Each structure stands twice: as C-alpha cells, then as structure tokens.
Amino acid sequence: MVERLTLTRPDDWHLHVRDAALMRRVVPDSARRFARAIIMPNLSPPITNTDLARQYRNRILAAVPGGLDFQPLMTLYLTDETAPAEIARAKASGLIHAVKWYPSGATTNSENGVREIARCYPVLEALEEQDLPLLVHAETTDPDIDVFDREAVFIDRQLTPVIQRFPGLRVVVEHVTTRNGVQFVQDASPLIGATITVHHLILNRNALFDGGLRPHHYCRPVLKRESHRLALVEAAT
C-alpha cells in the first residue's frame, strides 16, 4: 500500500503572476516548482479577450528562465460587456482554458468585474456550449452582509441559480473557505469543483488577531472559524 506520494513538479491551479517587474520576479519562482499553472486575469486593465491573453502569455513565457518547461494556461476576465462570440474565439485559440467571474469590488482589481450576472447569461450559455469552465470568486459584495458570511450568501443567492440554469456548465469555486462551500460542491453534479489554498487549510480566523493585527494573514476571501477549516481539511484528504 502506498503511504506517501511525492509530486515533483505539480500544477498550480490558481496563480497570480501580475505583470511587468513583479511578473518577472514571480514567474521564475513558479516555473522552478510547477509544470503548468492557471493564470488569473485580474490585471489592471484586465485580460478580457483572447488577443490580450495571447500577449500576456508571451510576456510570461519571456520571463521563464532558460531550461525550464513551464506552461501558462490562460483565462479571461468576465465583465458585463463580454460577448458570446469572444468565448468561441477563446476556445478556437487553444490558449484559453477558463473564464473568471469576479463580482465587482470583491477583491484585487475586480472593479471591472460582474455587476449583474444575469447580463452575462448569453456568455454562460456560450461557455456551456464550448465546454470552457467558469472559475468563480464566490463572495457577495453586498455591504450589508457580514464579511465572514459572504461566501455562503453568494453561493445561495448567485451561484446556485447559475448552475440550475446552466446544468452543463463546468464551474470551479475558487479558494473555497467554508463548510457551506464544501457541501455545495459535494451535493452538486460532477461538473462542479473547488480549489483550496494551503493558507485556508492551516489557519483559521484567530490567526488574523493573535498578538495583535496580523496583516500578512489577510486575503480575500478571509480566513474563517475553525469548524470551516476542518471541513476544508476533510474535503482535501
């Protein structure tokens, strides 16, 4: 019986390399450790079409040190103005592997994100037809919702209606942080998945405040209570 499995060059299924000088610093570190990575599109301005993604991919490849084989798998940034025809172009290019749904205002460089998902239904239909996954930052931006409840509320109010309307759409809940999110994926069809960060597997929200404010433990979505962390660990193992 195998007790230990070592991945010598795994894939990174959620990677931010940003751009310019920061990209040139981050890409070599990732390329030394990972064979492939899903590249997040939330630059400023964002990667909203296939041409921009191709240019961004070329910049990333130019930053890979010689002798390393690293494949950036590109994604597009969904907006209220994204055209269904762009999804067909993305699929035909062979370069685009997913489209990312950022609720406007939810996280870094998300101000150009989706304000009303119903306006994107034609695009979601195109994604379903082209079999391109929808990656989701699953947090509501409703200011009346407690920050620790925003994932659960988003799943209930926005994501559940989407998967009901588009049952053939592949969806990934990115960096899931709650027991609610885990249960949502487990109860859904095999087309629905999630990613989990190491950060959310090893820390709970106490880490934000132990000994004073700990800003390096802050990210979006924020750390949750211990019961949610344990649900993530159980799902991952």
Inter-axis angle of helices 179-187 and 226-236, nearest 10: 40
- DSSP secondary structure string, 172-205? EETT--SHHHHHHHHHS-TTEEE---HHHHH--G
The three-state secondary structure class of 3 is coil
| 181-213 residue pLDDT tens | 999 999 999 999 999 999 999 999 999 999 999
Model's pTM, two decimal places? 0.96
88-134, pLDDT tens digit by residue?
999 999 999 999 999 999 999 999 999 999 999 999 999 999 999 99
Listed by start position, the domains of the chain span 11-196
Read off the pLDDT band of 2 (50, 70, 90).
Answer: confident
Identify the residue whose tokens are 């599109």: 41
3 state DSSP class of 143: coil
- Radius of gyration over alpha carbons of the chain, in Å? 18
List the structure tokens of 81. 């103005």
Q: Residues 11-196: name the CATH superfamily.
A: Metal-dependent hydrolases (3.20.20.140)
